[in-house]
Amino acid sequence: MRIIVFGVGAVGGAVAAALCDAGREVIGIARGSMLEALKSGPLTVRTPDGHFSASLPVVASPAEIAFRPGDAVLLTMKSQDTPTALEALRAAGLRDQPIFCFQNGIANEDMALRLFPNVHGVTVMMPVTYLTPGEVVANGSPKIGLFDIGRYPSGADDDDRALAEAIDGPRIGGFVHEDVMASKRGKLVLNVSNAIDAAIGAEFRQGDFAKRAREEAEAAFHGAGLGWQNVGLDDPRRKALMQMKDVPGIARAGSSTTQSLLRGTGSVETDYLNGEIARLGRLHGVPVPVNSFLTELGAEMAGGSPAPGSLDEAALLARFAAWQAR
């Protein structure tokens, strides 16, 4: 199985480097400064237990790859970039090869299924940061990431088992999951606080406002008749295999949403995190004001105002009250 990692950033970079380090055949698809960095040097992953580096071939587009029947494609870009990526894969000749959505949110699999028949979901449990080209910081120890892998919308097949075997090792844990979307919905419950992290700081992910966002997510799933699985910090696998630790000399930048804002990408994934809960709430008559507000706030931060980290809790609550009063 040759593995194509489409989107060499935080998650994609860490996965690609770990796979290369384990002797797997990998091609990365990257852009911008990360692409330039990897053309001239290795990708380094810094962990609490040290660092490792891997050199891998990288291209700027799927059009530069001659796809093989046995290839597996890992989508590791943010959800807002998925439609463009899928169109590029189709134009490049991808057809029946498995596509694995290594992405937060639960919308990517459905987007992929519109164009391709062989789609799989992956729950990403991997605390990683990408701010410097050519470098990813991973805060998990001893493993840097854990992944639930299954076919979309449910079940598991040989492709899932092959990928789980390929990635499972000393650096990453891979688990075949018969209901991977329940696992991904559980991760989404955690991710609805990303916008709060970006606006006022990571310490408020466990505050009252974040709790309200998570409760809305659970209520929206309940209203839609969708189950979810706990994949939080009290997941036994996390306790046994991936403890959060500091990387010496490096402060963690925050959630994936915060990192996008700090890199100035101009877009964030909150439309597919809080926005997904807003969509479900509207479809099923479940009030979801906090997530609706955070969807809008994420777009405003991506546009530059307010700047990430520029609010405090009182200012956030004042903005929410003003938003409700409109």
How crowded is residue 175: how many other Cβ atoms within 10 Å of its Cβ?
Answer: 17
Q: Are strands 242-244 and 140-142 parallel, antiparallel or unpaired?
A: antiparallel
Domain 3-325 annotated CATH 3.40.50.300: no
In angstroms, the CA 184 to CA 103 distance is 9
pTM: 0.96
Within 8 A by CB and 6+ apart from 305, the residues are: none
Domain map (residue ranges) of the chain: 3-325
Q: What is the predicted pLDDT for the residue at 255?
A: 87
| Positions of the chain with pLDDT lower than 70, given as ranges | none
Predicted local confidence at residue 140, as pLDDT: 97
DSSP state letters, 2-51: -EEEE--SHHHHHHHHHHHHTT--EEEE--HHHHHHHHHS-EEEEETTEE
Q: What pLDDT, on a 0 to 100 scale, did the predictor assign at position 288?
A: 98
Report the alpha-carbon distance of residue 19 to residue 24 in Å, rounded. Answer: 5
Check residue 61 and give its pLDDT. 98
The predicted structure's pLDDT at residue 256? 86
User: In terms of Cα–Cα distance, which of 227, 133, 143, 225 is closest to 178?
Assistant: 227
| Percent of the chain as helix, strand, coil, to the nearest 5 | 45, 20, 35
Report yes or no: 181 and 121 within 8 Å, Cβ to Cβ.
Answer: yes
Q: How far is CA 158 from CA 26, 54, 87, 95, 277, in A?
A: 19, 28, 26, 17, 32
Residue 24, pLDDT score = 96
Tokens of 252: 């963690």
309-317: long-range pairs with CB below 8 Å, 24+: 309/198, 309/199, 309/200, 309/201, 309/258, 310/199, 311/199, 311/200, 312/200, 313/200, 313/204, 313/207, 313/209, 315/200, 316/196, 316/199, 316/200, 316/209, 317/209
Give the H or E element holding residue 161.
helix 158-167
Of the candidates 56, 137, 119, the one whose C-alpha atom is nearest the C-alpha of residue 82 is 119
pLDDT of residue 264: 85
Instruction: For 250-270, give one letter per residue: b (16+ CB within 10 A) or e.
Output: eebbbbbbbbbbbeeeebbbb
